């Protein structure tokens, strides 16, 4: 097996890891693997290729990863689920307290929580104030 094939496989493994664990970390290593595979067409010493891979990986983690994370936060803020529902007023379908409850928005049932001591009764109107991992945090809407 040639060195360019090995580094291509390394790039594919890291790309698959990035798909399975979306952290914007393995993507940098995948990019480094693919770039090293291209360089391996001209350079055939595995020690130098390993050094090049390490330098590319370190550089991409230090330079590209912060840029990608910043871009991902911007995209999440403008098009993500959070911005889609934050500020909407909806009706409570199941009484909401700190531990359980549900709302209905666009004919979909969503888990909801409220940071209040007194439960919010079904049928009341609430405002969505936060989105956290498929659970919406709500507060009673001002009437």
Asked whether the beta carbons of 140 and 126 are under 8 A apart, the reply is yes
Q: Hey, where are the domains in the chain?
A: 3-79, 83-140
Domain 83-140 has CATH 1.10.3720.10: no
Query: pLDDT per position in the chain (143 positions), as tens?
Result: 899 999 999 999 999 998 988 777 899 999 999 999 999 999 999 999 999 999 999 999 898 878 877 776 654 554 455 567 788 889 899 999 888 899 988 888 889 999 888 889 888 899 988 887 788 889 888 76
Enumerate the β-bridge partners of residue 114. 138
Task: Provide the H-helix boundaries in the chain.
Answer: 3-20, 26-39, 46-59, 65-79, 81-85
d(CA 49, CA 10): 13
Both tokens of 44, joined, read 């055939």
Cα gap 31→43, rounded to integer Å: 18
Evaluate whether 65 touches 100 at the Cβ level (below 8 Å).
Answer: no
Measured CA to CA, the distance from residue 97 to residue 32 in angstroms comes to: 48
């Amino acid at each position: 097996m040639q060195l360019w094939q090995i580094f291509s496989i390394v790039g594919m493994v890291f790309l698959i890891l990035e798909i399975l664990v979306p952290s914007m970390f393995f993507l940098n290593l995948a990019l480094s693997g693919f770039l090293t595979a291209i360089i391996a067409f001209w350079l055939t010493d595995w020690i130098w290729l390993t050094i090049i891979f390490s330098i590319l990986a370190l550089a991409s983690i230090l330079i590209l990863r912060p840029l990608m994370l910043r871009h991902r936060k911007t995209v999440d803020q403008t098009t993500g689920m959070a911005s889609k529902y934050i500020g909407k007023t909806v009706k409570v379908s199941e009484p909401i307290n700190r531990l359980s409850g549900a709302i209905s928005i666009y004919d979909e049932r969503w888990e909801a929580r409220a940071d209040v001591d007194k439960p919010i009764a079904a049928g009341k109107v609430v405002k969505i104030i936060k989105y956290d991992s498929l659970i919406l945090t709500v507060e009673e809407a001002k009437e």
